Structure 1
Amino acid sequence: MTNKKDDQLKKFTINTENQAPLTTNQGVKITEDEFSLKAGLRGPTLMEDFHFREKMTHFDHERIPERIVHARGVGAHGIFQLYESLDAFTKADFLTDTSKITPVFVRFSTVQGSKGSADTVRDVRGFATKFYTDEGNFDLVGNNMPVFFIQDAIKFPDFVHAVKPEPDTDIPQGASAHDTFWDFIGQNPESAHMVMWLMSDRAIPRSLRMMEGFGVHTFRLINANGEAHFVKFHWKPKLGLHSLVWDEAQRISGKNPDFHRQDLYDAIDQGEYPEWELGLQIIPEENEHQFDFDILDPTKIWPEEDVPVKIVGKMTLNRNVDNFFAETEQVAFHPGHVVPGIDFSNDPLLQGRLFSYTDTQLSRLGGPNFHQIPINRPVCPFTNNQRDGIHQMIIHKGQTSYHRNALNNNQPEPVSVNQGGYEHHQEKVDGRKIRGRSESFRDFFSQAKLFYNSLASYEQQHLKNALSFEIGKCKSEMVKINAVAILNHIDRQMAQEVANTLGVPLPKENYEVTSTKKSPALSMANTIFKTDTKKVAILLNGNPDEEQLRKWTMALLEHKIAYTIVDQKIHDLNYTGRVNETYEIADPTLFDAFLLISNENDIARPALEFIETGFKHYKPIAFALSHPKPIEFSRVKLNSAGVYDLTSSVIDPFIEGIAKGRFWERQL
């Protein structure tokens, strides 16, 4: 399905796969592209070789500054369509007309690492969506976590400096810094809630297709009558919410550092289009102060039990980019890109970002005309008096370039609100100029406690393990002690376990928040479980019964489960296709489940290592063995949850296990 943005991008696309002559940038046809112009075959290169100079100059300048944060990313095109009109809340055209199909471009990213870092590091994931609406571009710039580390944008440079590689060593790369990051956390208790999310399984998603997205900030929706509601934006993945385990994530970083990128590309390429539903949490203006938290505080969630998420539409990513640099790298998001019917709140982190993003694009994309780059162009016309500047791509006609003017009948001229003009929500503002923090922002720990309480027991254990691992990397005993002191405000037992592991003292006084409140929506255990796009490694040991193998593979495909046949060497099978990976090429961390087929007395060590690793990572494992004895001496416990014997039974329980994904009972 094509859309307005696809049609627009075609106008700026050169297809080098088509037959065409090689030319310079000026269209001059080139007869030779192998050798520079010389004075004799062994003589010096001549500077009059305009083709060589143009080619080399472009090469020397073809890299642009990488993003300071969110440098490593991957993007895709798609569409958004509304389920029901939201005209009671907003006049935004794409949120009121259910017949409209709005083109979108989404960029996923890690936050801390450089462009060359790995996909599966423990980090926040960026989730930025550009809606190309008929009223202009709306950018929903968010993350896969609903809160942030700081409350005021003036501290953003400090946070980024702390989380980036430490300046004296430039270590670590692709992961949160050690001493400087945890020193920042110890001195800034407002970060406590976000640290709980970062140390949870949310920070190591199984797939970009299996993580939530959040707008983080509080925005306003404005309807045609000028009535305002506060709103938070959510993306809910149709495949459910799933993660890796930490050992698995670390191994994947070495085996396939592009794991998430490849997963997204392959899914779209194979027609398994990722889908998310758009959800809104809405609070009437008159209810702004009726909660035990400040709804403008970006370190707080609106618990879904208190403010339900209203599902309003669906986004489908259905096309990969044609050129990574031109689209994914040059796309420019900005939380200030809004359309009529959407406005800002007084969230102090959001207010600062409204300046920062434009300033960043000016530096990274070379000037003020970055909106004219094809991936950033709106699908609706844009006309104003902004002229000239570096990389100006439009030829403006006319004598005037200012407002007001009489020479051109004051064209282009402002339009009224009734004609679709943007109008900021009118709000009475009364107060003294002051640097400070609202008292309503001073609760740093209650929602950190809510998050911890809401996790399943195995999720809590993963979080404590992550805290011990990350804080344990610090060299400064003071930093470790201060980090544990922060945890002591959240949960005393958690702090005790981490302190014991690190060998540092627990504070004598117990400052733990005394709350048992939970929010089931915060636990990844309460998600959707599907077989769709899961990957099974079929491990061969000897010659399989191909008739049975064909039945199993057909059953997998019926449930949208992909499979790869792995053996000691690549070869053709008689009836069931081809062995396309060997034990040396494949790796167990790249699969969701395993089926071991053997008619030999012994099982080769590489095959055993596959299933032992899968068992360690709580994944489902199935056997079809003529001689089961070798398994009994392996690290796989045959009577464990998620282990299936297919020798004399059907495959259905195994498929149900694949849908479940992990069997955390093995931890007990």
Structure 2
Amino acid sequence: MLRLTTALLAMAAVAKTGNEPAPAAQQIVAFKQRTSGPIGIMTTSAGSPIELKDASSTLNSNLIFNEYFMDSLTHIVRERIPERLVHAKAAGAFGYFEVTHDITNICKAKLFSKIGKKTPVAARLSVVIVERGGSDTSRDARGFAIKFYTEDGNFDIVGFSTPMYAYKDPLLFSSFVRAQKRNPATNLIDGNTLWDFLTLQPENLYMFLLVFGDRGVPDGYRHMPGFSIQTYQVVNESGEKHFVRFHFIPDAGIKKLNSKQAQKISGIDPDYATRDLYNAIGKGKFPSWSVSIQILTLDDVKNAKFDVFDVTKVLPQDEFPLKPLGRLVLNKNPTNYFAEVEQLAFSPANLVPGILGGPDKLFEARRLAYREAQYYRLGANFNKIPINCPIQNHVLAYNRDGRPPVKDNGKDTPNYYPNTFNGPVPYKDENRVDLIEIYQDAPNNFDQARELYMNEMTKGERSRLVDNILYSLGGAIEELQDRAVKIFTIIHPDLGYRISQGLKVNRTSYYRDDE
């Protein structure tokens, strides 16, 4: 009883902001206020009206003839679809992207065609590893996915909250996920599996310096940056090649939570970031991000001293400065979470003329993996689910049949190509450009990790980084601790020494909170 009372008090604590009712807490009340009474006669899923007696009680009656009972009971056990393997817990919202600077000299994509142009977008902001019922304030990387509904179809940027990714070789994806998920025997998160993987594939540690650092827990999604991670090839109307990385920087500023704050909030409101985003939009305080790109020429790619398509590295801004592009604004909450966010399907393969994607192997693998995930979760016709449909052009595909939704299923048009019966035909691009082919060497990002630790982190940030690493690494076996110390020492001797000393004095449960 005490636990229930505590939970109710916690709910009340997040229901209001000051004296103003929070939109998330008032959603169902708002629905009642804008309707004058019951919105109609309830029906079965087949549309048959339900009589009062059938909806009131099944006692002393024949269950199988009560269609309301049968319809609702057999449906509820089928209401869950497979949750995402990663990025399962997320907030979603909708808005627009507006071009503020002209880049038509490098990219012919219609969404960038002129200054002032607005393109509708859907956004899904997520925690990577935790399950759907986990905490928004867990220490983890975050997903930053944007779907642009352009005239030429959907363009998706499936990005991250960090400017780099963990590994270079897509072969590692399965192990990367499994090492961070639950131990198959204990069903518990296991520090040994995480640190075994990180120390066997040390290129991961550059990203994890940010995960274990102050950036590891954003103060809500409104204060979280986003990055495309990959370097995209783009072309202009003449077929000239350029290469870009996208940056989304929150106009409200980047803000973080320290470990104590994150743990405290997690115990009170595990949906903190989701609630914060919904309430901000509901109050008209629309979050926005300034969108910039780093631009490379083909000569830059050829002459760079490192692989500019290596997702485990950043592109140095002193060599490739940010160029302003536009503004992303989220101004509409979902009307129904399952329909509009849980079924929202992203894929790096969603590209439009002018944007060819990345030539690296990780991008190639993601084109397959995301498509396969949507087939598994949502079925072969996932692009016919309303939230995934292109909204500014008419789809003319030869795909037919399969698990619903099929919509009009292509009506009476031919279902094969080529044909001589006036089915849709492809267009011809006189200046067609193919994705360049590249050679990629083994990952090595210690120099950038060293730069991050020494020159981009303050003294206080370095101290908190060490404490957060110790909190995680302290539970691993000594062999893994020794391997980790050696690698951290390669990144920088000071980092390796501080972690080594911290392990010796067993500081794994101590957090600094002095800066």
Q: Does the 8 A contact of 2:467 with 2:512 survive in 1? A: no
Distance 1:425 1:78 in 2: 32
Q: Does the 8 A contact of 1:112 with 1:163 survive in 2? A: yes
* Residue 252 (structure 2) aligned to one of 231, 236, 239: 239
2:277 alignment counterpart = 264
* Residue 155 (structure 2) aligned to one of 120, 129, 138: 138
Structure 2 counterpart SS, 1:312: strand
2:239 alignment counterpart = 226
Q: Does the 8 A contact of 2:97 with 2:327 survive in 1? A: yes
Structure 1 position 71 matched with structure 2 position 83: no
- The 5-angstrom pairing of residues 434-513 of structure 1 reads 438-439=440-441, 441-453=442-454, 454-474=456-476, 476-503=477-504
1:397 alignment counterpart = 411
Structure 1 counterpart SS, 2:82: coil
Amino acid at match of 2:60: R
Give the deviation of 1:98 after TM superposition: 2.2
Give the deviation of 1:617 after TM superposition: 9.4
Amino acid at match of 1:393: K
Give the deviation of 1:385 after TM superposition: 0.9
Q: Does the 8 A contact of 1:481 with 1:504 survive in 2? A: no
2:433 alignment counterpart = 425
Distance 2:187 2:63 in 1: 42
1:568 alignment counterpart = none
Distance 1:124 1:30 in 2: 48
Distance 1:263 1:99 in 2: 29
Seen in structure 2, the aligned counterparts of structure 1 residues 300 and 21 have a Cα distance that, compared at 3 Å, is same
Query: Which segments of 5 or more consecutive residues in structure 2 lack a partner in the other structure?
Result: 1-33
Q: Which has the higher helix share?
A: 2
- The 5-angstrom pairing of residues 508-519 of structure 1 reads none
Q: Does the 8 A contact of 1:84 with 1:96 survive in 2? A: no
Give the deviation of 1:62 after TM superposition: 0.7
Distance 2:464 2:306 in 1: 28
* Residue 355 (structure 1) aligned to one of 348, 368, 390: 368
Structure 1 counterpart SS, 2:158: strand
- The 5-angstrom pairing of residues 24-63 of structure 1 reads 24-32=44-52, 33-35=54-56, 42=60, 45-63=62-80
2:98 alignment counterpart = 81
Structure 2 counterpart SS, 1:443: coil
Distance 1:617 1:495 in 2: 18
Q: Does the 8 A contact of 1:144 with 1:214 survive in 2? A: yes
Q: Does the 8 A contact of 1:79 with 1:315 survive in 2? A: yes
Q: Does the 8 A contact of 1:293 with 1:300 survive in 2? A: no
Structure 1 position 151 matched with structure 2 position 151: no
Distance 2:214 2:436 in 1: 42
Give the deviation of 1:75 after TM superposition: 0.2
Q: Does the 8 A contact of 1:66 with 1:364 survive in 2? A: yes
1:19 alignment counterpart = 39
- The 5-angstrom pairing of residues 253-652 of structure 1 reads 253-365=266-378, 367-379=379-391, 380-391=393-404, 392-398=406-412, 400-406=414-420, 408-409=421-422, 411-417=423-429, 425-426=433-434, 429=437, 438-439=440-441, 441-453=442-454, 454-474=456-476, 476-503=477-504
Distance 1:130 1:340 in 2: 15
Give the deviation of 1:396 after TM superposition: 2.5
Structure 2 counterpart SS, 1:206: coil
Amino acid at match of 1:316: V
Give the deviation of 1:34 after TM superposition: 3.0
Q: Does the 8 A contact of 1:245 with 1:617 survive in 2? A: no
Seen in structure 2, the aligned counterparts of structure 1 residues 187 and 424 have a Cα distance that, compared at 3 Å, is farther
Query: Which segments of 5 or more consecutive residues in structure 1 lack a partner in the other structure?
Result: 1-14, 431-436, 506-615, 619-665
Q: Does the 8 A contact of 1:268 with 1:319 survive in 2? A: yes
2:8 alignment counterpart = none
Structure 1 position 98 matched with structure 2 position 98: no
Structure 2 counterpart SS, 1:314: strand
Give the deviation of 1:46 after TM superposition: 3.6
Q: Does the 8 A contact of 2:63 with 2:69 survive in 1? A: no
Distance 2:432 2:157 in 1: 18
* Residue 214 (structure 1) aligned to one of 217, 221, 227: 227
Give the deviation of 1:230 after TM superposition: 1.1
Q: Does the 8 A contact of 2:227 with 2:248 survive in 1? A: yes
Relative contact order: is structure 1 or structure 2 higher (C-alpha 8 Å, sep ≥ 6)? 2
Give the deviation of 1:223 after TM superposition: 0.5
Amino acid at match of 1:471: L
Give the deviation of 1:253 after TM superposition: 0.6
Distance 1:117 1:30 in 2: 38
Structure 2 counterpart SS, 1:148: coil
1:523 alignment counterpart = none
Q: Does the 8 A contact of 1:214 with 1:233 survive in 2? A: yes
Distance 1:284 1:129 in 2: 25
Structure 2 counterpart SS, 1:288: helix
Structure 1 position 123 matched with structure 2 position 146: no
Amino acid at match of 2:327: K
Structure 1 counterpart SS, 2:64: coil
Distance 1:428 1:155 in 2: 24
Q: Does the 8 A contact of 1:36 with 1:49 survive in 2? A: no
Structure 2 counterpart SS, 1:417: coil
2:31 alignment counterpart = none
Q: Does the 8 A contact of 1:343 with 1:424 survive in 2? A: no
Seen in structure 2, the aligned counterparts of structure 1 residues 23 and 428 have a Cα distance that, compared at 3 Å, is closer
Structure 2 counterpart SS, 1:162: helix
Distance 1:292 1:247 in 2: 41
Give per-residue Cα distances to partners, 1:594-646, cap 9 Å, x unaligned. Answer: xxxxxxxxxxxxxxxxxxxxxx997xxxxxxxxxxxxxxxxxxxxxxxxxxxx
Give per-residue Cα distances to partners, 1:291-323, cap 9 Å, x unaligned. Answer: 332101110000112211111100111011111
Give per-residue Cα distances to partners, 1:189-241, cap 9 Å, x unaligned. Answer: 22121121211111111121111100011111111100111111110110111
- TM-align CA RMSD: 2.1
Seen in structure 2, the aligned counterparts of structure 1 residues 18 and 327 have a Cα distance that, compared at 3 Å, is farther
Seen in structure 2, the aligned counterparts of structure 1 residues 500 and 374 have a Cα distance that, compared at 3 Å, is same
Seen in structure 2, the aligned counterparts of structure 1 residues 124 and 442 have a Cα distance that, compared at 3 Å, is closer
Amino acid at match of 2:410: H
Give the deviation of 1:428 after TM superposition: 6.4
Give the deviation of 1:242 after TM superposition: 1.2
Q: Does the 8 A contact of 2:359 with 2:437 survive in 1? A: no
Amino acid at match of 1:485: K
Distance 2:234 2:435 in 1: 13
Q: Does the 8 A contact of 1:216 with 1:232 survive in 2? A: yes
Distance 1:146 1:130 in 2: 19
Q: Does the 8 A contact of 2:400 with 2:409 survive in 1? A: no
1:203 alignment counterpart = 216
Seen in structure 2, the aligned counterparts of structure 1 residues 137 and 399 have a Cα distance that, compared at 3 Å, is closer
TM-score for the superposition, normalised by structure 2? 0.88
Distance 2:274 2:200 in 1: 35
Range moving further from structure 2, 273-282 or 90-99: 90-99
Give the deviation of 1:488 after TM superposition: 1.0
Distance 1:246 1:491 in 2: 24
Distance 1:399 1:112 in 2: 44
Structure 2 counterpart SS, 1:289: helix
Give per-residue Cα distances to partners, 1:420-449, cap 9 Å, x unaligned. Answer: xxx86335659xxxxxx843x442311111
